[in-house]
Structure 1
Amino acid sequence: MTSAKERASVPRHVTITGTRSITAQAETQLTGLFDDYLRPFADPNATFYLGGAAGIDTSALDWLAEHTQAALTVVVPCTVADQPAVAGEAIHRWQRGGRLAGVVELRAEKLGSSAYHARNRWMVDRSGFVIGFPQGSDSTSGTWYTVNYAADQGKPRLVVPV
């Protein structure tokens, strides 16, 4: 049987994916949701991959940077300069504060669904676990695409509707 201390020393790589559109009601609930569903996986040996977009990506980045010691890597489909202003500001703020383990710019030629899907596959391919925060059940959303891609790879997923 593995002890809690041994489990805590095993590196954990987690992808966070979620909606870019957060309702005002959901935004007030995010701190509680992150505390309940991110904190249990955010030990100092964990690495989180975040997409660097507005919405859940930026909110989760801010929460993880403020409340945990986990390593944080932001992955963007093109460059940070191509991200929405609020997301770019958060990335730069945490980069300057020394809180990011890395920023990966995949440098896609064109920003669009295929670039976002490539970014999401990059994160999932390097993770052992995916936490998704979808809004609704639209199977064509990027969040569901990522969760389903992880499922196809046999990786565990946690889905937290917002």
Structure 2
Amino acid sequence: MTFAEAQASVARHVTITGTRSVPAESEAQLRVLFGDYLQPFAGPDAHFYLGGAAGIDTAALDWLAERTQASLTVVVPCTVTDQPAAAAASIRRWQDSGRLAEVVELGADRLGTAAYHTRNRWMVDRSGFVIGFPRNTEPTSGTWYTVNYAAEQGKPRLVIPV
């Protein structure tokens, strides 16, 4: 494998991160944003890592599972049953359909900032590219933490505010 081929392969491993606060009226906007900014990276050789939380994680999971052939891995800090009900239902639905490549339960003792940051680093460490959908420019959000962690790793990032 050439260097260029290796780089292309790594770049096709993409972490999706984003706000958990997505108003219902934003669903149509998200479909457009996902079409514009996820679709170009969602070929059959792509692999996406998603956090399994409510908001962008679940919306992106549903969109990718319905519209692409990309491999999908959902990563949760504790277990799937510890996720919000709608997020857990979406994970189970796609898992039962065989659409998910993998569900990774990191087994944290409890949910909280440290567990979410561990999950996000786990995903970024396995990706060559990060796409972030922050709700605002608050540098303290988990989305910005993840985007900044990717920057520290020298990984390309694409930020799409919602």
TM-score bin (small chain): over 0.9
Structure 1 CA distance, aligned partners of 2:27 and 2:18?
13
1:4-153 matches, cutoff 5 A: 10=9, 12-153=12-153
> 3-state SS of the aligned residue for 2:98?
coil
Letter in 2 for 1:75: V
- Percent identity between the aligned chains? 74
Structure 1 CA distance, aligned partners of 2:138 and 2:75?
24
Structure 2 CA distance, aligned partners of 1:84 and 1:25?
20
Q: What's the CA shift for 1:110? A: 1.3
Question: How big is each residue's C-alpha offset from its partner over 1:26-53, in whole Å with a ceiling of 9 and x where there is no partner?
Answer: 2220000000000000001110000000
Structure 2 CA distance, aligned partners of 1:39 and 1:68?
8
> 3-state SS of the aligned residue for 1:150?
helix
> 3-state SS of the aligned residue for 2:151?
helix
Letter in 2 for 1:20: R
Q: What's the CA shift for 1:55? A: 0.2
> 3-state SS of the aligned residue for 1:62?
helix
Q: What's the CA shift for 1:25? A: 3.8
Which structure 1 residue ranges, 4+ long, deviate > 3 Å from structure 2?
none
Pair 1:158 & 2:161 matched = no
| Equivalences, count | 157
Structure 2 CA distance, aligned partners of 1:31 and 1:156?
23
Structure 1 CA distance, aligned partners of 2:135 and 2:93?
27
Output the TM-score relative to the length of structure 1: 0.93
Unmatched tracts of structure 2, length 5 or more: none
Unmatched tracts of structure 1, length 5 or more: 1-5
